[in-house]
Amino acid sequence: MHKPLRKIVIVGGGSAGWLTAGLIAAEHSTDPQSGIEVTLIESADIPPIGVGEGTWPTMRSTLKKMGISETDFLLECDASFKQGSKFLDWHTNTNEHYYHPFTLPYGFNDTNLAPFWQPFRDEISFADAVSAQSHLGEHGLAPKQISTAEYDFNANYGYHLDAGKFAILLQKHCTKKLAVKHIIDHVTQVNNSETGDIASITTKNHGDISGDLFIDCTGTSSILLAKHYKIPFVSTKGILFNDSALALHMPHESPDSPIASFTCSTAQTAGWIWDIALPSRRGVGYTYSSTHITDDDAKKELRDYITPIMGDTAAQSVKIRKIDFSPGYREKFWHKNCVAVGLSAGFVEPLEATALALVELSAKMISEQLPADRQAMDLVAKRFNAKFLHRWLNVIDFLKLHYVLSQRNDSDYWREIKDDKSIPDSLREQLLLWKTQTPYHYDAIHAEEMFPSASFQYILYGMGFITQERNKKRVDGSKKAQMLFGENIKHTKQLLSSLPSNRELINKIKQYGLPKI
Amino acid sequence: MANSVLLNSIDHQEVKVITERSEKYGDNLWYSLTFPSEFRSVQAYYPIFFNKDVNTGEFFSVAMFGFQDKENLFLTNNKWDAPYIPLSVARQPFLIGLQKVNEDGEEKEQRVLHISMDHPRVNKEHGQELFLEFGGNTPYLDTIADMLEAIHHGMVDSKVFINSLIEHELLEPFTLEIKLDDKTQNQMLGFYIISEEKVSELSGDILAKLHAKGHLQAIYMAIASQSNIRGLLIRKNIQLGL
């Protein structure tokens, strides 16, 4: 009999640490006699990075699982509803746009509408033809009504949120409701056992803290996995060039300005600008490649973006924060009795908000596959590493896809990022295949892919990719497809007439709260 | 309701209110608002369900008269075929208005009687008179004033009642399968009921608390009212000649 796993020590607060703590403590009994003990140590000296303000729809089940009321979450985190991403100027840089909504194409599970849309490509955009959600985006509508229960939806959604406030809410919930122990202290040393496991960590004021499993949520400094265990870093700078970001907060034009329900991503000469609307402010930032543009020129492009919204004087004086990052991930994520979650495991770039999603997926797997003892841990670690390596590669291919289909030629950045040499083989092969067949269920190699084939369809066809299917089918599916297109129109009309604006719904939630059922 | 005005014996001396029950007076109601203090009378004839206000997401209880919009299965030949009509229907065309009054230098809100002048029941030829010759209330108007008082207090209590149902997670969505005698099947969605199972799982402490607040009786009244679904089905079959 091996000693059962009892003590989990999470190093680092922030969204990653608290989400991991919360998901584990919500899944497992924390009974002092028979359950597990979750301790989170965070340093008062190191502020969390505080970006990562967009989530996936997965966040709904994450919050629900932890037992957080959606009304409390929305109000305390200054959160609003996110229904996907809107990409501007990525394709031809002629004020064009396309949508990547969270809702799957109509009838996607049993019918692939993409081939039937192809003949009408010049008449209607792919997203508009197969989903209601891009229409909701253009009309600024919310994904639900005030009478829709917490976490239920009329159209699939995640959130835009204030990352600082989010960590505070999670901390409060984890410590008060889920029996997570919170220690504020600075880690000074990591102590190995004879087997090379981490036996304990030494803190400045609380002495040695021992544990059976250590979770590294220390952000880019990656104290346990990178500094202590020296797990090598795999750079993706040659594929995805962005390594810098300039971030700022700005007020809405007026307090009752519409709150956009999509993350707006506008391509620039050496990267792209995100624009995330919360009820009380907008978070805007430019992520770019420092090898392709100087910080000053990037600042100028960012100011050009915000000047029409906030005026010249305010745009010149607004406080801009600079963040540097190395795009890439660790060669493995779980080593011995230590697993990294969040930026400590890697970060490629903010596109498609994968950071928090990867945190949720990592924490979910650690929690649901929590090894019973040290022997089981190596097997779980092996699975975890294989699964997440696949997920990182899937993320990289998917993000790269956004760039390679661009027709922009206005800078070296765009010319080089589309260059064949910078495209991973896996993506190059898929692009070749997609010339004669549309991405569909066979494109998902693993269960729970990060991005379903539907997402690949939205990007490909949003960016004007042409698939010419050559194989003629014995049964003509076009009648069924016409019916589904028709149903999508009906569904869209019904949603357009019944959903409130995002701002209207947030105001009502402030007044009444969302019903629990 | 549009054109609702403060009722007074001068402007409205000649106003009469038709009390017949008919579609043309807006009685073709699928359901109407009810509240716990009325549950005893309502549960004798109508199922009591719960519904959400689409404008606020808040729950309220309703007495059901049919299975779809504009269907009142109790309405036959200009008669309401049940001895008790829920107060929120019976009070038409009157409603409660709030008026600011100055009492000893203090501003207070006072409930006053309003009438919807556009309501089809309102006319000068037929029906119940509101005022006596010299301005006093007719017994009819006094009854109406009592009803509106009962509704006002009933709605205040209802809010507390429903909050406690939500707190103890006693409400659940349900789908009503409507099987008629000709074997046609339909579903009615969007309503909620009190879950008998969840009530049976409540601890003694919570039951005692609910009882002390008078909620336990209302809970059982609402549960008992579910047997009236059968009555509605019989009416539907008769109406369709099945």
Q: Report how many Cβ contacts below 8 Å link chain A to chain B.
A: 34
Confidence at residue B48, expressed as pLDDT on a 0 to 100 scale: 97
Residue A515 and residue B192: Cβ atoms within 8 Å?
no
Contact B54 A145 (CB under 8 A): yes
Q: Are residues A45 and A170 in the same domain?
A: yes
Residues of chain B contacting residue A516, judged by C-beta atoms under 8 Å apart: 166, 169
Please, are residues A41 and A209 in contact by the beta-carbon 8 Å criterion? Answer: yes
Distance from CA of A147 to the nearest CA of B (A): 4
By C-alpha distance, which of A6, A8, A26, A15 is closest to A79? A15
Residue A503 falls inside a structural domain: no
Indicate whether A342 belongs to any domain.
yes
Instruction: Quickly state the pLDDT bin for A45 (edges 50, 70, 90).
Output: confident
Contacts of B113 (CB under 8 A, 6+ apart): B6, B7, B94, B96, B97, B144, B145, B148
The tens digit of pLDDT for each residue in B181-190 reads: 888 898 999 9
Residues B118 and B9 sit within 8 Å (Cβ to Cβ): no
Q: Do B172 and A145 touch (CB under 8 A)?
A: no
Q: H helices within A243-318, ranges in order? A: 295-310, 312-317
Range of the domain at A317: 244-324
Share the mean pLDDT of chain B. 93
What's the pLDDT score for residue B2?
Answer: 60
Q: Is the Cβ pair A512, B171 closer than 8 Å?
A: no
Q: Which of A508, A514, A515 faces B59 most closely, judged by CB atoms?
A: A515
Query: Which of B56, B166, B192 faces A512 most closely, judged by CB atoms?
Result: B56
Strand partners, B114: B6, B95
Confidence of residue A48 (pLDDT cuts 50, 70, 90): low
Contact B59 A514 (CB under 8 A): no
Q: Which of A505, A510, A516 is best to mutate for the B interface (most B CBs within 10 A)?
A: A516
A182 belongs to a structural domain: yes
**Interface touch B57/A508, C-beta < 8 Å:** yes
Do residue A515 and residue B172 have CB atoms under 8 angstroms apart?
no
pLDDT at A280: 95
Mutation target to probe the A interface, by most A beta carbons within 10 A, among B52, B164, B168 is B52
Q: How far is B169 from chain A (nearest CA, A)?
A: 9
Give the CA-trace dihedral at B129, B133, B136, B142, to 10 degrees. -20
**Chain A: residue nearest B193 by CA?**
A517
Render A251-270 in DSSP notation, one character per residue: --SSTT----SSEEEEEETT
Q: Give chain B positions within 8 Å (CB) of A508.
A: 55-57
Flag if A515 and B52 touch (Cβ within 8 Å): yes
Q: Do A145 and B192 touch (CB under 8 A)?
A: no
Choose the weakest-confidence range: A114-128, A261-275, A437-451.
Answer: A437-451
- Specify the pLDDT at position A49: 63
DSSP code for A326: -
Looking at A367, A392, A417, the residue that finishes a domain is A392
Q: Which of A308, A324, A340 is the last residue of a domain?
A: A324
Task: Please indicate, yes or no, whether residues A272 and A338 belong to a single structural domain of this protein.
Answer: no
- Please tell me whether residues A249 and A380 are part of one structural domain: no
CATH code, domain with A23: 3.50.50.60
Cα separation, A218 vs A443, in Å, equals 34
Q: Say which DSSP state A141 is in.
A: B
User: Mean of the per-residue pLDDT values for chain A?
Assistant: 94
Hey, what are A490's tokens?
A: 């009906």
Q: Give yes or no for a contact between B151 and B88, defined as CB atoms under 8 angstroms apart.
A: yes
Q: Are B126 and B172 in contact (CB under 8 A)?
A: no
Within a 10 A sphere around the Cβ of A67, how many other Cβ atoms? 11
Query: Looking at the partner chain, which of A146, A514, A516 has a beta carbon nearest the beta carbon of B55?
Result: A146
For residue A511, which residues of chain B lie inside 8 Å, CB to CB?
56
pLDDT of residue B1 exceeding 70, the answer is no
How far apart are alpha carbons A301 and A56 in whole angstroms?
28
* pLDDT the model gives residue A440: 92
Mean pLDDT for A214-225 is 96
Name the minimum distance, in Å, from the CA of A512 to any CA of chain B.
Answer: 6
Q: Are residues A299 and A317 in the same domain?
A: yes
Cβ atoms A59, A485 nearer than 8 A: no
The answer to whether the CB atoms of A517 and B57 lie below 8 A apart is: no
CB spacing of A146 vs B192 below 8 angstroms: no
Contacts of A184 (CB under 8 A, 6+ apart): A41, A42, A43, A44
**What is the least distance, in Å, from the CA of A146 to any CA of chain B?**
5
In a domain, A227, yes or no: yes
Q: Please indicate whether, in this complex, the C-beta atoms of A512 and B166 are within 8 angstroms of each other.
A: no
Q: Are B93 and B156 in contact (CB under 8 A)?
A: no
Indicate if the pLDDT at residue A1 is higher than 70.
no
Cβ neighbourhood burial of A75 (10 Å; 0-12, 13-18, 19+): middle
Strands A213-216 and A7-11 come out as parallel
Residues in A touching B166 (Cβ below 8 Å): 515-517
**From B55, B56, B166, residue closest to A516, measured CB to CB:** B166
Q: Are residues A173 and A231 in the same domain?
A: yes
**pTM of the shown model:** 0.90
Tens of pLDDT along B92-142? 999 998 888 777 778 888 889 999 999 999 999 999 999 998 889 999 999
Chain A residues lying within 8 Å of B56, measured CB to CB: 146-147, 508, 511-512
Task: Please answer yes or no on whether A148 and B57 come within 8 Å at the CB atom.
Answer: yes
Which residues of B fall below an 8 Å CB-CB distance to A? Answer: 52-59, 166, 169, 171-173, 192
- Is the same domain home to A320 and A335? no
User: Hey, are the CB atoms on B57 and A513 less than 8 Å from each other?
Assistant: yes
Residue B109: what pLDDT?
A: 82
Chain B residue numbers with beta carbons less than 8 Å from the beta carbon of A517 are 166, 169, 171-173, 192
Flag if B57 and A516 touch (Cβ within 8 Å): no
Chain A contacts to B (CB-CB under 8 A): 145-148, 508, 511-517
* ipTM of this complex prediction, to 2 decimal places: 0.78
Q: Write out pLDDT tens, residues B46-56.
A: 999 999 999 99
Q: Do residues A37 and A169 both lie within one domain? A: yes
Angle between helical axes of A14-27 and A354-368 (0-180°, round to 10): 30
Report domain extents, chain B.
4-239
- Does residue A160 carry a pLDDT above 90? yes
Asked if the model's pLDDT at residue A245 lies above 80, the reply is: yes
Q: Please give the C-alpha separations between residue A335 and each of A6, A196, A226, A330, in angstroms, as whole numbers.
A: 18, 10, 10, 11
pLDDT exceeding 70 applies to what percent of chain A?
A: 98
Average pLDDT score over residue span A121-132 = 96
pLDDT at residue A474 is higher than 90: no
Cβ-Cβ contacts under 8 Å, B165 against chain A: none
Window from A208-222, A437-451, B86-100 with minimum mean pLDDT: A437-451
Q: Do A147 and B54 touch (CB under 8 A)?
A: yes
Number of domains in chain A: 2
Q: What is the pLDDT of residues A421-431, one digit of tens each?
A: 999 999 999 99
My answer on whether A356 and A219 are in the same domain is yes
Question: Which of A279, A309, A324 is the last residue before a domain boundary?
Answer: A324
% helix, strand, coil for chain A, step of 5 = 40, 20, 40
- Percent share of chain B, pLDDT over 70: 99
Phi-psi region of B233 (alpha: psi -120 to 50; beta: other; left: phi over 0): alpha
Q: Flag whether A460 is in a domain.
A: no
Same domain for A310 and A175, yes or no, is: no
Residue A329: which H helix or E strand, with range? strand A328-330
Question: Higher confidence at residue A458 or residue A443?
Answer: A458
